[in-house]
Structure 1
């Protein structure tokens, strides 16, 4: 299929990359504030630690984005259930998994051409437009990054360094945005 509007397709790809970069930045900021105990802490017995969430997200990224256009997004060698098991990996190993997952995602997205946007990919045997697949992952990772930030903030409590506009500073921030 030819691209009837290459500028719109290029914009969609660029916008998606920016959205993912924004998500990664939030996750990076939360991970930087955690020590080995914090990355394994859970707010409740049935909750996942940040380490488990990162392991799951990284596993999903490797599966979905490796050979994105050519193979099913659920790779046969992925063991999703194992992603939700605690293990003894340290903070540096967890961060390395996080970085590998994002590198795979950005490598795949940055290699797409505007005409690829009109293609179809499969995930677990189900056909999705490329746009649907990208948006599916934006939603999925956004939820998990929110969990990472929430867990890190709860663990750090009063020691948390905000990743956005500090409480009570909205007007100051807005005023600063209006200045040339």
Structure 2
């Protein structure tokens, strides 16, 4: 029988993987130039979102139990500067940061969830720190998907049930 901690760790991995999948499916629909598109000076491009999420993820989940989640070598402000990285550079950064996160989650044990970790010198349980990042990444992945939809307009391929197809989905689901 699984413990509540094991169930939580499995669940949080599914949540993170779901967020990554939404972002990955968005990236796949965009050209290299579209990854850098911004509709105005107050909106971050998808490339900047990748830079920020990746920087945050590396900082938070590297040496998770050993050092503060806000690493001294992290330059958060630089993450929000357009660096014109290529698609392959952006995706390599993206994949590397997700590997860092998943490596940590794959090594967690029940008792680790109640250990204290620090983010900007503020103590959190590991469970709380992880939940904080689930929320943070979901927020930014939502921005990535919304910007992808804005860019592609009528060429956007829905990542869920397409508009006006709910009944067909329900009918198909009920037949299973």
Q: TM-score, normalised by structure 2?
A: 0.96
> For structure 1, which runs of at least 5 residues remain unmatched after alignment?
none
Who is 1:37 aligned against?
33
Who is 1:115 aligned against?
111
Question: Contact 1:6 / 1:115 at 8 angstroms: preserved in 2?
Answer: no
Question: Contact 1:6 / 1:114 at 8 angstroms: preserved in 2?
Answer: no
- 1:83-102 superposed matches below 5 A: 83-102=79-98
Pairwise CA RMSD: 1.3
2:66 aligns with one of 64, 70, 79: 70
Report which structure shows greater RCO (CA 8 Å, sep ≥6): 1
CA distance in 2, matches of 1:173, 1:159: 21
Instruction: Please state how far the C-alpha of 1:96 moved relative to its aligned partner.
Output: 1.2
CA distance in 1, matches of 2:145, 2:49: 11
Question: Contact 1:71 / 1:122 at 8 angstroms: preserved in 2?
Answer: yes
Cα deviation digits, residues 119-143 of structure 1 (max 9, x gap): 1110010000111101100000000
CA distance in 1, matches of 2:82, 2:91: 15
Cα deviation digits, residues 21-40 of structure 1 (max 9, x gap): 00000000001111121000
Who is 1:7 aligned against?
3
Question: Contact 1:73 / 1:122 at 8 angstroms: preserved in 2?
Answer: yes
Instruction: Please state how far the C-alpha of 1:174 moved relative to its aligned partner.
Output: 2.0
Cα deviation digits, residues 142-180 of structure 1 (max 9, x gap): 000000001111111111111111111112212222333
Question: Contact 1:165 / 1:173 at 8 angstroms: preserved in 2?
Answer: yes
Instruction: State the secondary structure of the residue aligned to 2:3.
Output: helix
